[in-house]
Structure 1
Amino acid sequence: MGEVRKLQKKLRQIENLELKVSLTPEEAIKVSKKAELRSRLAELLLQHSGPQQTQCTVSEEEDKMKRQVHTERLTDHAPAVKLAREDQPEEKAHSKAEVKIKEGEGEGQSQELGDPDAEFSSLKALWEKAKFRLRTLKGHSDVITCVAAVDNLVISGSRDTTLKVWHVPTATEQRNLGGHSGGITCLSAPPAEYCRKLASALHLAETERFIISGSSDCCVRIWTLSSGQCVKSIYTFNAVSSLCFIAEWQGYIVTGSDAGKLQVWDWLSQENCQSVNVHLDAVTTLQSQGPLVFSGSTDGSVCVWKVCNGAAQPLKQLQQWGSEVTGCSNANEVTGWLRLSARGDHIFLANGRSSIRVLNWRTGTMRRLANHSSTAGVTDCVNQVPGLLVASSFDLTSGWNTLNCFVVSNSRGDVKARRDSRLDSLLAESDGDSQEESEADEDNDSDDDEGEDSSANDATEVSGSSWFRCVLQ
């Protein structure tokens, strides 16, 4: 399997190279070999694992049969429902400057059921009956790095330094927001009640909604969605790599920098309340849940913070776990842009590998949840909606992008120290790594491959994949 892992690593590096604005002649040659490498990888997987993992080399009829087998296997071993999707060409979603929206047209919401098996069956039947409509919104001139949703609007941020506001029902562009001098890296939409507070302070209509953007130009900007006006600009002295809004007290904005610094800003006055250097590398993910804030970094570390309302320094660190616990990075190589989604005691981590890592942030226990049928798949983003955990799945062999959906809870999603038997069963089934994935992880962590691959990795501007810093909402 050594050659398989090397091919997977080369394909991963090609994915990273394709994010660059321009390529050197040597890099262009490597990118041109993608189809050849995928074909060779498919042949090797066919030899080692049989035809079930080489979907790109079989006929269309056999392909459909294998997908059915794969779905049944997921149902038997881990309650995962794969969302309906349209087959996509080999070209990656992030390489196009466009936003894709899938809208469910199925019957209403699933009922809350006491029996976990009955609830899963109900949700699975609902997803299978649902019809999805895929809409493509074109307008950006460079890679789209972040997306947020407010009511029937979608706001996208791009490396082209602009934000665009899209009207979902009509699939049209409403506004183009320009003002940043660097690429947009992150977006956050404050809750309506906090928008009303700021609108009142600015003497705007109480129905006004705002969007917050962070950029590599070291600025955070607050925009009105009705007019597209920038009402506030905060200079952070650091390139902003992530941000989130804390819906506690009068409201706070938390920003993460590309150097590992966290900064807290008052929502109404935009004054800096706290600055702390906690991570050793870029803060790539921030999430607030009630009185807790979770931060993750490219260095593989995860921190948990408690919000102290009204305190001079609003964030108090509760726990920190390094890469030796999360397994998301090491000193030699970063495997991906770490993304997280927290629920109760568990933090679901996505960092460019085939499984979702599940960290109990109170005890430091790490488990895994299978998200792909083979180690040729990678997971780069994960998020939760009521009752469901949604994760990306990208197949390096075929280039397919899919979304996997796991039933985890019917709760409101507030942060409390409690356990859920349905989630525990998922974790139990995924506890411990398969020998194949363990070997792949060891190879990715320690083997720097050949010299040319190492130089390609060093030249990469962004460590991502086809779901590149995706926000699932």
Structure 2
Amino acid sequence: MGEVRKLQKKLRQIENLEVKITLTPEERFKISRKAELRSRLAELLLQLSGPQQTLGIVGEGKKEKMKRQVEDAPEALPSQTPPASKILKGELKSKAQATPAPAARHKETGGGGETGRQQETGEPAKVSDHCLDVSEGCPALTRTDPREEPQPPEEDREFTSLKASWEKAKFRLRLLEGHSDIVTCVVAVDNLVVSGSRDTTVKVWHVPTATEQKNLGGHSGGVTCLSAPPLEYCRRLAWSLSLSDKERFILSGSADCCVKIWALSTGQCVKSIYTFNAVTALCFVSEEEGYIITGSDGGKVQAWSWHTLENCQSINAHQEAVTSIQSQGPLVFSGSAEGGVSVWENRCLERDPLRLLHHWTGQVTGCKGGPGGRLALSPRGDQVFLAYGQSWIKILHWRTGTMSRLTNHSSIAGVTDCVHQTAGLLIGSCYDLANGESTLNLFSLPQCSYLASLTCAEAPRILCFAAWLTGSGGHRWVTGGRDLIVWEQLPSSGKQRGDVTARRDSRLDNSLLESEGDTEDDVESDDDYGNDDDEDKDSQSQEELEGQSGSWFRCVLQ
């Protein structure tokens, strides 16, 4: 495991180097070793995981990917698949003549669950009393009349149908070309997508035609975050500026310490707020008069009045850079590079509107020391989903501080950069350090049950995500990172082939676990993956040259 950790550390450092604007000859040499290091890491992971874990870790080439294409290997819809009870009934009639089913059959009983596994062990057809005793809580086995045909619960039928539909999902991908550097943030407004980049620009794209509408230049530093105020608050600002009541506005935060407000119809900056701190995260709170909440590279959280644009509050909330801020009604959630999460209540006051409800440190969340020090969050009710650069999605129950973990990758080589909720789905991005494959994993809400994984050959690492539904109910997503890509869902019944492979990784089934303590992978930082003097020296010298606080801020904006 020691060599695996060293290789992971080097690959992560190479990933960070690749997003830099300028490179030294020494850094270029390190990047040139990427394929060699990946090959060695894949070999070691294969040895550690065994033959049964080969699939999805090192990749078996295009042949295996083609086998997983849903459109090439369609499965029956739930309505065409006989219920588990009918399968069992047929087995009860013919079990005496039948030979025992192979072990691989166990996974194919779908809705039967434990019932299918118990009945396929090669035992006599008659359900014995002993079987009834040991299978309490399994309704199909405790029935005494074999003629009864129990139906799966409504929730199970809905999930089975949803899972089948996503296994057949087809998406068309379109590249939005225009940025000259890493895309750090995206947001959707109607049929428009707004993206921010380290190249200091904010661009507006018309999605149906995949064309750039406007280039909003005005920041002097990299753009780190975007937010779209609701239409009601846009109307208030438009009225004060004597603009059309249909005008939409976008907020952008930047390393130049400014938050700018842009009118989308004209592409003009109508207002600007100087925060005295490099802005690394922001959100809009739709309560009363409205508030802009910003986070800085030094860990400060600030509140600004939407009505007057004056500063209402400044709090030294975190020890390192604030990397994510999200709102949920009157609540505000902030996450930082050291792995801490704070929950705030907006009391809608002119002064000091934010009141701290809870603060959970990296010791509690288990997100301390993540690679690059970047924590992304997405709140839902009493839970907050956390992505922090490892193979897990953490789930913080923010009222109690208890943690759960959701497996987002089947090996320790997975890196989760962002997590997003849309239309009853939880979507986690995953990047495989071993083979460079980028994947979106889909889970159903609220149970967090695994549905499917979507991947595309040569897809870049996904650092930010936006999603919405079209008028016909189809999904349309935009992912940002090295490339800005639109994912448009195609009708499953159509003949058009998609650009995305939809597959299921059985190792992600039943992936929701209650945390009983952090694993070794959770608590170790990237610097703990073995001692490498050259890498450590490079890291230290880079920090001295950069002079910025917070490793995530250095990684994203250097």
TM-score, normalising length: structure 1: 0.81
Q: Please state if 1:430 is matched with 2:513.
A: yes
Counterpart position of 1:58 = 60
Aligned match for 1:371, one of 381, 393, 408: 408
Aligned to 2:383: 346
Matched, 1:240 2:279: yes
**1:168-187 maps to which residues of 2 (within 5 A)?**
168-187=207-226
Please state if 1:452 is matched with 2:453: no
Aligned residues: 413
* Cα distance change, pair 200–427 in 1 and its aligned pair in 2 (3 A): farther
Measure, in 1, the Cα distance between the counterparts of 2:329 and 2:108.
33
Counterpart residue type for residue 373 of structure 1: S
Q: Which residue of 410, 423, 428 corresponds with 1:391?
A: 428
Structure 2 equivalent of residue 102 of structure 1: none
1:404 alignment partner in structure 2: 441
Q: Within the alignment, does 1:117 sit opposite 2:169 as a pair?
A: no
Match for residue 441 of structure 1?
Answer: 522
Match for 1:389: what amino acid? L
* AA matched with 1:140: H
Amino acid paired to 1:195: C
Change (3 A) 1:62 1:463: farther
Mapped to 2, the partners of 1:5 and 1:447 lie a distance apart of 5
2:171 aligns with: 132
The 2-side partners of 1:302 and 1:312 are apart by 23
The superposition leaves residues 95-147 of structure 1 with CA deviations (integer Å, 9 ceiling, x where unpaired) of xxxxxxxxxxxxxxxxxx99332332232233234321101010111111111
1:19 aligns with 2:19: yes
**How large is the Cα RMSD of the aligned pairs?**
3.1
Q: Distance in 2 between matches of 1:172 and 1:429?
A: 40
Distance 2:49 2:108 in 1: 17
Matches within 5 A, 1:456-467: 456-458=538-540, 459=542
Deviates more, 1:16-25 or 1:159-168: 16-25
Name 2:262's counterpart in structure 1: 223
- 2:6 matched residue in structure 1: 6
**Runs of 5+ consecutive residues of structure 1 not aligned to the other structure:** 78-112, 411-425
Query: How far apart, CA to CA, are the structure 1 residues paired with 2:384 and 2:162?
Result: 23
Aligned-pair CA distance for 1:242: 0.5
Asked if the contact 1:161–1:180 (Cα under 8 Å) also holds between the matched residues in 2, the reply is yes
Structure 1's 66 and 428: CA in aligned 2 closer, same or farther, altered over 3 A? closer
The answer (yes or no) to whether the contact 1:293–1:306 under 8 Å persists in 2 is yes
Alignment-mate amino acid for residue 178 of structure 1: G
- In 2 relative to 1, CA 372–17 (structure 1 residues): closer, same or farther, beyond 3 Å? same
The residue aligned with 1:49 is: 49
Equivalent position amino acid for 2:276 in 1: F
| Sequence identity percentage | 59
Q: Secondary structure of the equivalent of 1:430?
A: strand
Q: Is contact 1:255-1:262 (8 Å) kept?
A: yes
Match of 1:336 among 364, 373, 382: 373
Structure 2 runs not aligned, ≥5 long: 76-103, 112-151, 448-508
Whichever residue aligns with residue 281 of structure 1, its letter is: E
Task: Give the 3 Å change call, closer, same or farther, for CA 295–448 of structure 1 in structure 2.
Answer: farther
Counterparts of 1:351-366 in structure 2, within 5 Å, are 351-366=388-403
* Contact 1:147 1:154 survives alignment (8 Å): yes
Superposed displacement of residue 65, structure 1 = 5.1
Structure 1 or 2, whichever has the larger Rg, is: 2
Instruction: Name the SS for the 2:226 alignment partner.
Output: strand
Which residue type is aligned with residue 376 of structure 1? A
Distance 1:430 1:351 in 2: 17
Maintained 8 Å contact 1:249/1:310: no
Q: 1:26: how far off?
A: 2.2
Query: How far apart are the structure 1 equivalents of 2:110 and 2:433?
Result: 25
